[in-house]
Amino acid sequence: MENRRVRLRFAPSPTGGLHMGGVRTALFSYLFAKKHKGDFILRIEDTDQTRYVNGAEEYIINALKWCGIEPNEGVGFGDGPHAPYRQSERKELGIYAKYAQKLIDSGHAYYAFDTTEEVDEMRKRLEAAKVASQYNAVTRQTMRNSTTLSEDEVKKLMDAGTPYVVRLKVPRNEEIRFHDIIRGWVVVNSAQVDDKVLLKSDGMPTYHLAHIVDDIEMEVSHAVRGEEWLPSAPSHVLIYRYLGMEDKMPLLAHLPLILKPDGNGKLSKRDKSGIPMFPLDWYDERTGEKYAGYRETGFFPEAFINMLSMLGWNPGTTQEIFSLDELVEAFSFERVNKSGAKFDPEKTKWFNQQYLRKKTDAELAVLFTPILKEHNITADPAFVENVCHLVKEKAHFVSEFWKDASYFFIAPTAYDPEVIKKRWNEQSAGFIKAVTEAYKNLGTFTAAETEATFKATAEAQGIGAGQVMQLFRVCLSGVGGGPMLFEMVELLGKDEVIARLEKAVDSIK
């Protein structure tokens, strides 16, 4: 195991849009693979055809691309030495049946002919008796399978084409021990483990068999997945053992759950915190439900990834902002917690804000310009950059720029009535007129000069600058809050400022 090449796979089932928990699994796998100069593989686990959802596979590929955590091998990423990487296609290679046969031949798996109704009835009977309702070492003795039927009977049923499944023969009372990199040693008694179906009646392997065969064949070194898979790990350990391939078993890492913001239970994809649960917009064509994506909501992929990295992992320092390269450098499974990680919507926005502030004005202008176009605004690129410079401090998203700063492009037609009611009177109106006149005489129109003139005029009028500051802002922008006032004045420019002040004096009654 020590000398194995590091190869991690992300193995989603295309049963819907990939939610952020899935992206975190992919991210941690990616980080570990890159850190150890290994491979990151995308395998599509589509053996359950009844749950197949159109578009899901494409969605997964696009989501990984947007996040910048691209596999170097697998579906959508140029395949590789172990193609195909879709289980439905791998079935055609006959590998799943071959491994199942090996288990049957060594007496560790068996044929079960029970109908769904018969299995249901068994479960009901056991539930009524208040015992674990599992198909296992005890109950299998009451069912129709190759452990209870004679060879002849089995042959007859097979010849008659009776549908059957292949089940794992789990021992009745044996200790199963395995190591998880995050959780340490886990010990389970086989009495808790059911005889999992390995091959379904349509010949398709179940997840349990298929992922093991593929992990072996693809030489996967570490299997990283959500905590919900921990209960089936003992069955998987048995399968490796019975195949005589324990040395091929990947190291296991079961990631902690992502919890609701209040810590009460698992985060749902229908969470109502207002923060998306999916990387990209997702439309579920079966249910007609629409889910907002981080991308479309205006999150930067770097911010999304950084936020996700902190859900369950910590660097052991107070550093919170990590680029993807820094994450690769810092990441280890030893620093992933066992206990659930609370999702924090405010912190998620905070991460985006940090990345927004890191962007240059020019980068932000590129993102803001299409929004301006939507509002039929064409403006001088340098002016747009300057607006971005002023509004970026307070915003979390570029999409907020228009709401916060449309007045840079369109003069106000309404003035915050609260401020007007409180501050507009003969004296303050007189001040606005006076400052307008004073501005007309200014040669250059910088923030410093306009501020000095503003203060001098206030003093000359015997009025406190603080009393007219917000009113002055409202006359210029229509709203009571915004960026640094005189920076805004400088950017609007002399002619525009004078025109807006004159218009305000005429309009406000």
12 binds ligand GLU (CB under 6 A): yes
Measured over the CA atoms of residue 217, residue 220, residue 224 and residue 230, the dihedral's sign is positive
What DSSP state is assigned to residue 267?
P
Q: Pick from 11, 100, 395, 419: which binds ligand GLU (CB under 6 A)? A: 11
295 binds ligand GLU (CB under 6 A): no
Binding mask 14-53 for ligand GLU (x = CB under 6 A): -------------------------------x--------
User: Of the two residues 25 and 428, which places its CB atom closer to ligand GLU in the complex?
Assistant: 25
Give the nearest distance from C-beta 46 to ligand GLU in angstroms: 9
For ligand GLU, which stretch binds (CB under 6 A), given 144-152, 221-229, 408-416, 432-440?
221-229
Q: Pick from 225, 254, 392, 500: which binds ligand GLU (CB under 6 A)? A: 225
Q: Could you give the CA distance from residue 172 to residue 242 in angstroms, rounded to a whole number?
A: 15
Give the nearest distance from C-beta 79 to ligand GLU in angstroms: 19
Catalytic residue among 200, 248, 269, 422: 269
Q: Pick from 176, 223, 491, 497: which binds ligand GLU (CB under 6 A)? A: 223
Q: Could you give the CA distance from residue 280 to residue 295 in angstroms, rounded to a whole number?
A: 5
Q: Could you give the CA distance from residue 251 to residue 77 in angstroms, rounded to a whole number?
A: 24
Q: Could you give the CA distance from residue 263 to residue 343 in angstroms, rounded to a whole number?
A: 8
Q: Helix or strand or coil: residue 55? A: coil
Counting Cβ atoms within 10 Å, is residue 110 exposed (0-12), middle (13-18) or buried (19+)?
buried
221 binds ligand GLU (CB under 6 A): no
User: Of the two residues 61 and 372, which places its CB atom closer to ligand GLU in the complex?
Assistant: 61
Torsions phi, psi of 164, nearest 5?
A: -145, 160
Q: Helix or strand or coil: residue 45? A: coil
Residue 217 vs residues 144, 210, 287: alpha-carbon distances, Å:
33, 10, 36
User: Of the two residues 144 and 225, which places its CB atom closer to ligand GLU in the complex?
Assistant: 225
Give the nearest distance from C-beta 135 to ligand GLU in angstroms: 22
User: Of the two residues 171 and 226, which places its CB atom closer to ligand GLU in the complex?
Assistant: 226
Residue 250 vs residues 224, 245, 334, 348, 465: alpha-carbon distances, Å:
9, 10, 17, 33, 70
Give the nearest distance from C-beta 292 to ligand GLU in angstroms: 22
Task: Give the count of residues interacting with ligand GLU (CB under 6 A).
Answer: 9
Known catalytic membership, residue 269: yes
Taking Cα atoms as reference points, which of 26, 28, 33, 32 lies closest to residue 11? 26
CA of residue 211 relative to chain centroid, distance: 23
Q: Could you give the CA distance from residue 496 to residue 509 in angstroms, rounded to a whole number?
A: 21
210 binds ligand GLU (CB under 6 A): no
For ligand GLU, which stretch binds (CB under 6 A), given 5-13, 51-59, 166-174, 191-199?
5-13
User: Of the two residues 21 and 276, which places its CB atom closer to ligand GLU in the complex?
Assistant: 21
Give the nearest distance from C-beta 11 to ligand GLU in angstroms: 4
Binding mask 184-203 for ligand GLU (x = CB under 6 A): --------------------
Q: Could you give the CA distance from residue 270 to residue 389 in angstroms, rounded to a whole number?
A: 36
Give the nearest distance from C-beta 243 to ligand GLU in angstroms: 17
267 binds ligand GLU (CB under 6 A): no
Residues 23-38 as b/e (b if ≥16 CB within 10 A, e otherwise) read bbbbbbbbbbbbeeeb
Residue 4 vs residues 37, 222, 455: alpha-carbon distances, Å:
12, 10, 73
User: Of the two residues 225 and 500, which places its CB atom closer to ligand GLU in the complex?
Assistant: 225
Residues identified as active-site = 269
Q: Which residues bind ligand GLU (CB under 6 A)?
A: 11-13, 45, 207, 211, 223, 225, 229
